[in-house]
Structure 1
Amino acid sequence: MHCQTEAAPRACVDVHALEAVALAATRSAAVASYDWVGRYDQKAADAAATKAMREALAQAPGRGTVVIGEGEKDDAPMLFNGEIVGTGNGPDFDIAVDPLEGTSFCAKDLPGSLATIAFGEPGTLWSPGPGFYMDKIVVPPQAKDVVDLDDPPERTLANVAAALGKKVSELRVMIMDKPRHKNLIARVLRAGAAVQTPAGGDVGGSLAVLLPTLDVDLLLGVGGTPEGVMTAAAVRALGGGMLGRLAPQRDEEADAIRAAGMSLDRVYECDELAAGDAFFVATGVTGGTLLDRPRKCEGKTTCESLLISRGEIRYLTHTTFE
């Protein structure tokens, strides 16, 4: 993210200041939703996270536009598409957001729920309009040039394995455990690869591909477009590979996409989903292999966050006092 150069520039982007705001937003959302962990009330958890994140984003030094939010897809409390946040005194920037990724995990106190957000330069984060779902491939940098969404999964596995210097039998593939993926999972298993099948949370699944310590080689399957855009910000920042294509799950969604003049066949590359400098932030809500959950002890709350920006992965621990 850099200085804007149009005839009447608003301001230069202070990336560190925006990173601090993004971290404050995800931490606030994580702490607020944590009060609803294990209470089997997804909408209440979502509402708490959204309210806390909106309040934190109101302090952003500039004018942020929510390009894509999660609530419209899930009929949940949301930061809505087109919403403007921030003080207005500073740079413009785009936001892709899911205040509570993995609401069912939060409601049932299962690992994997996160508060997530991505910031990008104005006009650079892709807006899918009425498209709520997309087919995705996410791979590490070594395999970014060998994948094609039109390839059968067997060919994708062979190409990725060769790029990574592995056998197909050594690959670990992340695919969400959804009815729509039954055939895909079966084909990947028959090809000889191992499969991880979380019930949801494809942002976390994509991050597992990008983070070398988590031993996942690629992500396949259909997930949400908000998660896809946030993932693209992280993939771009780390030089990985990603492809996406709209994959409506209902006739009404497909009709709305066509009515908006968008193609159901076009494949988007990572630098189209996140077309400029961007960064990604997540804070743990229910723990797991990626990030720990908030810890409350003796009047203190400690959160663990992840910041992916400009080729770097940073883990940050933050403690607040009541």
Structure 2
Amino acid sequence: MHRTAQRTRTDVRTLEAIALAATHSAAIASRAWVGRHDKNAADAAATEAMRQVLADAPGRGTVVIGEGEKDEAPMLYNGETVGNGCGPDFDIAVDPLEGTSFCAKNHPGAMATIAFAEPGTLWSPGPGFYMDKIVVPPRAKGVVDLADTPERTLANVAHALGKPINRLRVVVMDKPRHQELIARLLRAGASVHTPAEGDVAGSLEVLLPTGDADLLLGIGGTPEGVMTAAAVRALGGDMLGRLAPQREEEAAAIRAAGMDVDRVYTCDELVGGDALFAATGVTGGSLLSRPRESEGAVLAESMLISSGQVRRIAHTGAHPNRGGIR
């Protein structure tokens, strides 16, 4: 469900600096917990650091989708407002530390992430925590359907990309719920990458020209889904999503909220206006390097996706777009 949009249009590009500052601060804060096998502490550190930056954001931001409800997560809960009020209104989707287990165990793939959009344009999943997703690059836009079998999806994407199925690289999270899906993809001849978590990172591997995947399938979190949709919209790819409750309590709450678990949402329904996505590396990997000491400062690498462009930024300060964007 979308909230009513404001009449005055917000140029989200004016928020690039605060998005980068937020993910940078979260990444540096969680860095102290890398390898300490305490994912909750790492997540809390990232969230608090990001919240402090957002408190000074120019304008008024509304967290449409965060990591927890107010009673369970005192920071960046759904519906919370941030900012100094002196500037544009904007929507926020946030996961201060994607890959908490990766951070705790010092495995590649953890990063701080956030998405900003025009006010009233981010889809709110209400009490839905999980969603089924398909993400494809721009060349495969319009050829996928959540009603298709995995085999038909592979065939359609392979045809659109001009390659045989046995050259397709598919990202599916390594979860018990995906055992049959993974088996069918393998039997069809595709190569399947199965990270333990991190479907935003998996989607970026699909979307980026330098990425190492052609397709993402499977069930992941709704915050990650909305943030992914922001990147998909900015880069011209394609995405479909559908609520996929994993427990009866979640399904009952969705029904009580008047939402339809069978409805398929397009990317433009998940993000209905201009949006940007930002991420900063925490433990390194193929997308972003880990923060490192450099001449007495901590140098971090971030990625900014906005207006059809992907920019990589190496920075140490709170406002990294004051130089260093390339």
Residues 1:162 and 2:164 aligned together: no
Choose the corresponding residue for 1:175, options 163, 172, 176: 172
What is the total number of aligned residue pairs between the two structures?
Answer: 313
Q: Structure 1 counterpart of 2:105, which letter?
A: K
Aligned residue number for residue 24 of structure 1: 21
In the alignment, which of 45, 51, 54 is matched to residue 54 of structure 1? 51
Once the two structures are superposed, the pairs formed by residues 60-209 of structure 1 within 5 Å of their partners are 60-72=57-69, 78-209=75-206
Q: 1: distance between equivalents of 2:13 and 2:123?
A: 23
Rounded Cα–Cα distance in structure 1 between residues aligned with 2:287 and 2:310: 12
Partners of 2:69 and 2:223 lie apart in 1 by: 10
Instruction: Provide the C-alpha distance between the structure 2 equivalents of 1:158 and 1:76, rounded to a whole number of angstroms.
Output: 42
Q: Which segments of 5 or more consecutive residues in structure 2 lack a partner in the other structure?
A: 319-326
CA distance in 2, matches of 1:30, 1:170: 35
Gaps of 5+ in 1: none
Percent identity of paired positions between Structure 1 and Structure 2? 75
In 1: Cα distance, 2:294 partner to 2:243 partner: 44
Q: Normalized against structure 2, the TM-score is what?
A: 0.93
Asked if structure 2 preserves the Cα contact closer than 8 Å seen for 1:301 and 1:320, the reply is no
Distance in 1 between the 2:31 and 2:194 partners? 24
How big is the alpha-carbon RMSD for the aligned residues of Structure 1 and Structure 2? Answer: 1.6
SS at match of 1:275: coil
Aligned partner of 2:302 in structure 1 is 305
* TM-score for the superposition, normalised by structure 1: 0.94
Residue 66 of structure 2 contacts residue 77 of structure 2 at CA under 8 Å; is this kept in 1? Answer: yes
**1:299 Cα offset (Å):** 1.8
Report deviation, 1:15: 3.7
The amino acid of 1:200's aligned partner reads: E
- Does the 8 Å contact 1:63/1:91 carry over to 2? yes
Counterparts of 1:226 and 1:123, CA distance in 2: 16
Tell me by how many angstroms 1:260 deviates. Answer: 0.2
Deviation (angstroms), 1:213: 1.3
- 1:297 Cα deviation after fit: 3.8
Cα displacement (A) at 1:29:
0.2
Q: Which has the higher contact order (CA 8 A, sep 6+)?
A: 2
> Which residue in 2 is equivalent to 1:240?
237
Q: Aligned equivalents of 2:84 and 2:73: distance in 1?
A: 26
Question: How far apart in 1 are the matches of 2:262 and 2:11?
Answer: 38
- 1:220-235 paired onto structure 2 within 5 Å: 220-235=217-232
Aligned counterparts of 2:158 and 2:294: Cα–Cα separation in 1:
45
